[in-house]
Chains A and B, each alone.
Chain A
Amino acid sequence: MTPFDYARARSEQDAVARVKDAGTKYLGAGTNLVDLMREGVEVPSRLVDVTRLSSRIEPTDGGGLLIGAAASNTAVAEDAAVRARYPALARAILSGASAQIRNMATVGGNILQRTRCTYFLDVEGARCNKRQPGQGCDALEGFNRGHGVLGVSPACIATHPSDMCVALAAFDAVVHIAGANGRRHVPLVDLHRLPGDTPHLETVLELGELITAVELPSQTITARSTYRKVRDRASYAFALVSVAAALEVAEGRIADVRIALGGVAPKPWRAREAEATLIGAVPGQSAFVAAAELALAGARTRPGNAFKPELARRTIVAVLSDLAGAGQ
């Protein structure tokens, strides 16, 4: 690991003020960043530890929840309000990593964790446009079983690996950001950028901007939500495909629906066209299949991940069917 300076931020303002250049990184629990530093993927000259900043989970004036960015994944998953009103979020978190890692990992760090593409991680031996712009991508013609099929580009097909963010995307979560120029709010689904020809630019955060909290708006539909993760072993594996969904049926018609996908895209993927086609439809196999088709309509596959669109479609249909069945 390359030597670096370390400082612990006393406040949000203090944290932001400590960022002088792009060599400074915020440090959450380090469950991803420190690994990447060991691998030489990340080489920050300075770390600003933000784990002592807000980890509170508290109600908002609008009836939603505000989760401090330093809250541990475990704390969020175990929070009574989260479990009762946003069950898909608790399920998503608990399906990820291991208990030890969840106890450490923070909400802010989870959102900003980086892809697990093996070529991205191999600094010495592989080409990666995300790590080194313009270098080329070894995943395109290499091992790409875990890679994305939606929102990918010829420059990068890496996925965002988070489970938690898929549920946050489904729930219209808003990211609270502090920076040198003040505070701003960005919907989670707009925080991450698609790779295009600049896969090294992963979010809309400006230099020194810090995620301070995630806000979950108050919506009744979120209580009828679930998360299903499909993976290569029964635990401690990243999603090949995951689905966070919520469904509200009134008078035999779909009144509201949320569908977000994980494991298939460079960002937590909200399937808005699929949602739109379901509104007003009679809940059932044919509507769900049509929605699933729409959700994966833009899929672009490689030989290694050609199974993903079908797997995603099947999982979407199964999750929606479960939700529809549970609601009846």
Chain B
Amino acid sequence: MTMRTKDHHMPFVSSPFVTRRDVLVGSAATAAGLFLAEPGLATSLPNAPARSGLGTAYPRRDGPLKVRGAARFAAEHRFPGMVYGALVFSTIARGTIRRIETEAARAASGVVLVMTHENMPRLAPPEPFYASPTGMAGSAIPVMQDASVHWNGQPVAVILASTQEEADHAARLVRVDYEVAEAVTRFDDAAVGAPVAFYAGRDLQYRDGDAEAALAEAEASVDLEFSTPQQNHNQIELHAVTVAWQGGVLRMHDCTQGVDLSAITIAKVFGLDPSQVHLTAEFVGGGFGGKTLWQYHILAAAAARLAGRPVRMTLTREGVYRICGGRAPTRQRVALGARLDGRLTALIHTGTTMKIAQNSMTEPFMEAAEHMYRTDTMHLEIRAGVRDMLANTFMRAPGAAVGTFPLEVALDALAERLAIDPIELRIRNEPEVDPTTGKAFSQRALVGALREGAHRFGWQPRSGERLGRREGEWLVGTGMAAAYYPYKRFPGGAARITLGQDGRAVVELAVHDMGMGTGTATAAVAADRLGLPYEDIEIRYGDNRLPGNMIAAGSQQMAAIGAALTAARDALVAELAALVPAGAALHGRPAEALTTRDGALVLASDPATRMPLADLLARAERREVSAEAAAPPPSEAKEWSMHSTGAVFAEVRVNAVTGELRVSRITGVYDCGRILNSTLAASQFRSGIVMALGMALMENTLFDERSGRIANPSLAAYYIPAHLDAPEIDVAWTGIPDPEAPSGARGIGEISMTGVAASVANAVYDATGKRIHDLPITLDKLL
């Protein structure tokens, strides 16, 4: 199976002869021999046996709907009698509302309801992530339940009016008098005495040996300090919800990455049974970790109940910045000690980040260091200071996006000191087994990705010298870095398959398409599992009443879907086996011996022994057969070290006069297991690279530490890359199936957000001789 990206043949193949340990560590020569000795070699290798559907570049199923504007998003649904909501945000970071004047707002044209803590229904606080297996809220702060203010920007009043304009106007008429309390808003203050963070069930701390001593004794070392700024989500679709109370049911059109978890979490807030919440999100205009349950959902539902009217609440862009969290700032130290041959003797990656008291999200920036390189000693540690601010949250490649930046810049600095090519340095430290867990890798081809990337990019090997050149005013340099993101599969995967006599199958599961093409990829996986043509598969998703409580997060949704579809297929086969009539060749065979292929129920060991599904259903006088099953618990990630890796190469141009930095070329090669759809995958990889360029070059939430207020809550003042900032991007992948991952695929949504900032910083060094340790890399740092 040869993968194809925009203009390039992908020379890697998915070969049955490629072993789990496809690159032999410690031996660059072996790796080079196995991979890419000659560009033409790859295509002559035997292809993997094609399973129908998987890997095919099917076009996006919802493309025509979106192009025609016919796809309806959360803020495009309407209910009879619907009114529009607007929010008033606090202007202090901490304190109490002494008095809130709402008379003018109540009297304003079109106003239906003004809701404050004084008339807000009494509700339970929302469960945040990790507080329970179903927690979906950004924080546990009770929503408008009393006069207390917890961050600058907190909603303090809700207006409902006949039109959005009337609601917005009335919101400006609300006057709030605060009793200001002392707030912790400065990083430096919050960092003092900050404890080691507890995140996702563990302390973010790891020690192996005495890393400081090893660093001090190392033949070569670097010891560097870095910082990354706070960043905000800027999905193209503003956060919105359209809600109605229909009988005893709360009906929500939402934009969420977790229909089921959002429904369960809001049900608990309102004291409802989850079955009393019907939440759909057919289309989501970008998620990236930020489309979860925030205060506006609860406020909209509460206001709708209070007013007895359906409500649409669409946040303004400012509203998204005020009440939907983003990536926390970090200050990090990476120190590396090495022998002169480049073998690491010490790896220290420590630092501090910020969170709030009422959430459990700590930016886990040490994760890449845990799994990427072998070293004699290691010390990893993250401390989390608590500030009075909007809850920080997940943002594309949490941890790894900001953690690979210092790690991969430090490796570049070490390579220079050792006069070893940076690719070679990484290869010399490629681990045999997982460096911290000692587990075997399920599949890992980082070395192959590095070599392939070098080949595609035209990497010039270097040994300590800068190779940057000058073109007129422009200093041109190249740099590289590794990419990293863990494999994940969360519990809760389930699916229902309904097979009709016409041979078509309807697959239903509570998953999400936030623009990445989930429906399209899922149809291909279902076709593969069922042995049916892709065109005969219909996928229904984005509805909490469908099976499963999956979440589109952690790049794990396709893994969850893959496992769920296998389980549901097996359950369906069992149903079908029971229908096989006496006298048929398959009669009496145990369900485990059967599978579906080419529109028939077949004996797995002898597919020629078969019975067409249409015949089977007709003989049994069944119009359809349906089966639902849950995926097994995700034990694979406990037994194996499962991680995706990659190699990123950047060419940058720095203007010698103005310091302006432009990235002119990027190559990314990713090792993520099997690629399920090359078109969708290329788009995911490229979009992550563009987003990471934003992180590298310009993204920066201006959190005013005096007031705790975000000073640039607008796309006019918070820069993300424009078209001219996005260069030619070449992406490729190894495509080697992971034998332990469902469908062989480890997930691709986030990894391309990692490594890019480091590759750019390393290229800037090559061009200018300046090591930039603080993101974003703005021109003032290069003057």
A residues contacting B by CB (< 8 A) are 1-3, 38, 40, 116, 118-119, 121-122, 124-126, 138, 141-143, 145, 230-237, 240-241, 307, 310-311, 314-315, 317-318
Contact = CB atoms under 8 A, between A and B. Distances in A.
Contacts of B638: none
Chain A interface secondary structure, helix, strand, loop or mixed? loop
Contacts of A142: 704, 706, 711
A230 B779 contact: yes
A118 B724 contact: no
Contacts of A125: 89, 91, 152, 707, 709
A99 B721 CA distance: 17
B658 interface: yes
20 contacts: A116-B716, A122-B711, A125-B91, A125-B707, A125-B709, A138-B704, A142-B704, A143-B711, A143-B712, A231-B660, A232-B698, A232-B779, A234-B724, A235-B723, A236-B722, A240-B779, A307-B779, A307-B783, A318-B657, A318-B658
Contacts of B91: 124-125
A119 B657 contact: no
Contacts, number: 90
Instruction: Determine which residue in B109, B172, B697, B712 has the highest number of CB atoms from chain A within 10 A of its CB, and name it.
Output: B172
B473 interface: yes
A124 B157 CA distance: 14
Contact of B658 (A124, A236, A311): A311
A311 B711 contact: no
B711 A233 contact: no
Interface of B: 89, 91, 109, 152, 165, 168-169, 172, 473, 657-660, 662, 697-698, 702, 704, 706-707, 709, 711-712, 714, 716-717, 719, 721-725, 778-780, 783
A237 B698 CA distance: 11
B169 A314 contact: no
A235 B711 contact: no
6 A-B pairs with least C-beta separation: A234-B724, A307-B780, A125-B91, A235-B724, A230-B658, A318-B657
Contacts of B704: 138, 142-143
Contacts of B662: 234
A116 B714 CA distance: 11
A311 B717 CA distance: 21
Contacts of A143: 702, 704, 711-712
Contacts of B722: 233-237
B717 A116 contact: yes
B780 A311 contact: yes
Nearest to B702: A143
Contacts of B172: 2, 40
A307 B712 CA distance: 21
A118 B714 CA distance: 9
Contacts of B711: 118-119, 122, 126, 142-143
Given A126-B709, A143-B704, A233 B783 contact: no
B707 A232 contact: no
B114 to A, nearest CB: 17
Given A1-B168, A122-B711, A235-B725, 20 more contacts: A118-B711, A118-B712, A118-B714, A119-B711, A122-B709, A138-B704, A142-B706, A143-B704, A230-B779, A232-B697, A232-B778, A233-B721, A233-B724, A234-B662, A234-B722, A236-B722, A237-B719, A240-B779, A307-B780, A315-B657
Contact of B659 (A2, A121, A122, A311): A311
A50 to B, nearest CB: 24
A172 B678 CA distance: 57
A160 to B, nearest CB: 16
A318 B660 CA distance: 14
A310 B783 contact: yes
Given A233-B697, A237-B719, A318 B473 contact: yes
A250 to B, nearest CB: 27
Contacts of A234: 662, 722, 724-725
Contacts of A145: 780
A235 B716 CA distance: 12
A315 B779 CA distance: 13
Contacts of B698: 232-233
A120 to B, nearest CB: 11
Contacts of A318: 473, 657-658
B236 to A, nearest CB: 15
A261 to B, nearest CB: 14
Nearest to A231: B660
Contacts of B165: 1
B737 to A, nearest CB: 39
A1 B172 CA distance: 8
A249 to B, nearest CB: 21
Contacts of B168: 1, 38
A118 B169 contact: no
Nearest to B704: A142
Contacts of A122: 709, 711
Nearest to B663: A234
A137 to B, nearest CB: 13
Instruction: Determine which residue in B168, B711, B724 has the highest number of CB atoms from chain A within 10 A of its CB, and name it.
Output: B711
A145 B229 CA distance: 15
